[in-house]
């Protein structure tokens, strides 16, 4: 539907990320038998303010009912549609080390509509060994197997030195989206979407927030050298 496609293209990326959070919260509530929810309740559960939530939900064409709130099942369906979760997806994981092994066994993928269809590595000891019920194949077979199994999402959990080669093979196999855990920037054609997950960078961001809060605490030190509510002098100040 052209109107739906145009609406999807207009959604900011930050809002897309929040929609995925809302979907997770709503799915949990549906499992508990909750049928309706107010914007304030959903916002609190998702960790955002209600005004931002209402703006995000307006992108999917859902405004709720005044005095009643949102129908949980309807809202789940609308968010799943806008996120493309009503379409068929198949996932391939490349690099079956500790991280790749954990990803291959992660039950959250199939339960959310992302079944793992193929696993790849170069270790001869892993060839044919099932991980999460899927036998490991050699990376030389990426193109053929991805096309045969209609894989459209690739997960790269390899060392950085081989990540670009693996990426090229996935793209040649028809993969349209790549989730990259390797600490390297990948070059891809314009029609391929890449999401990079760098755990070290995430830790550095957390370190920044810890340091900022520590600096803010120091800035609250009063003129007489004590912190409000603590009553202890700060040595050297």
Q: DSSP readout, 69-80?
A: BEEHHHHHHHHH
Contact (CB, 8 A) for 78 and 86: no
Strand partners, 130: 135
Cα 47-48-51 angle, rounded to 5 deg: 155
Q: Please indicate whether residue 56 or residue 10 has the higher confidence score (pLDDT).
A: 56
- What is the pLDDT at residue 175? 96
The mean pLDDT of 117-133, rounded to a whole number, is 95
The mean pLDDT of 36-47, rounded to a whole number, is 91
- What is the pLDDT at residue 141? 97
What whole-number percentage of the chain has pLDDT above 70? 87
DSSP state of 226: B
Strand partners, 76: none
For the chain, give the mean pLDDT.
Answer: 86
DSSP state of 125: G
pLDDT band, very low/low/confident/very high, at 231 (cuts 50, 70, 90): very low
Q: Please indicate whether residue 233 or residue 92 has the higher confidence score (pLDDT).
A: 92
Element (H, E) at 210: helix 199-219
* Residue 59 predicted with pLDDT over 90: no
* Residue 108 predicted with pLDDT over 50: yes
Cα 145-149-152 angle, rounded to 5 deg: 100
C-alpha–C-alpha distance, residues 162 and 168, integer Å: 10
Most trustworthy range by pLDDT among 19-23, 86-90, 117-121: 117-121
* Residue 233 predicted with pLDDT over 80: no
Name the least confident of 45-54, 163-172, 176-185, 222-231: 222-231
* Residue 28 predicted with pLDDT over 80: yes
* Residue 96 predicted with pLDDT over 80: yes
Name the least confident of 2-6, 47-51, 102-106, 151-155: 2-6
- What is the pLDDT at residue 223? 47
Element (H, E) at 36: strand 36-37
The mean pLDDT of 142-162, rounded to a whole number, is 96
C-alpha–C-alpha distance, residues 175 and 152, integer Å: 4
Predicted structure pTM score: 0.72
* Residue 228 predicted with pLDDT over 90: no
C-alpha–C-alpha distance, residues 33 and 42, integer Å: 15
The mean pLDDT of 73-83, rounded to a whole number, is 88
Write the Ramachandran bin of 187: left for phi over 0, alpha for psi from -120 to 50, otherwise beta.
Answer: beta
Tokens of 192: 């391929």
């Amino acid at each position: 539907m052209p109107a739906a496609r145009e609406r999807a293209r207009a959604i900011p990326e930050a809002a897309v990320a929040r929609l995925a959070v809302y979907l997770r919260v709503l799915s949990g509530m549906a499992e508990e038998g909750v049928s309706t929810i107010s914007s304030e309740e959903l916002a609190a559960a998702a960790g955002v303010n209600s005004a931002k939530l209402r703006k995000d939900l307006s992108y999917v064409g859902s405004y709720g009912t005044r005095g009643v709130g949102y129908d949980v099942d309807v809202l789940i369906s609308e968010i799943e549609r806008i996120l493309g979760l009503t379409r068929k997806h198949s996932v391939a994981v490349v690099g079956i080390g500790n991280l790749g092994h954990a990803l291959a066994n992660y039950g959250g993928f199939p339960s959310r509509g992302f079944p793992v269809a193929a696993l790849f590595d170069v270790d001869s000891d892993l060839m044919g060994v099932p991980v999460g019920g899927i036998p490991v194949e050699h990376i030389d077979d990426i193109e053929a197997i991805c096309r045969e199994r209609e894989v459209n999402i690739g997960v790269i959990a390899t060392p950085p030195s081989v990540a670009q080669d693996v990426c090229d093979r996935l793209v040649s196999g028809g993969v349209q989206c790549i989730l990259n855990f390797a600490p390297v920037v990948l070059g891809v054609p314009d029609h391929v979407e890449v999401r990079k997950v760098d755990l070290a960078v995430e830790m550095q961001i957390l370190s920044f927030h810890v340091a900022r809060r520590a600096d803010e605490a120091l800035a609250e030190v009063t003129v007489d050298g004590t912190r409000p509510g603590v009553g202890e002098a700060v040595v050297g100040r």
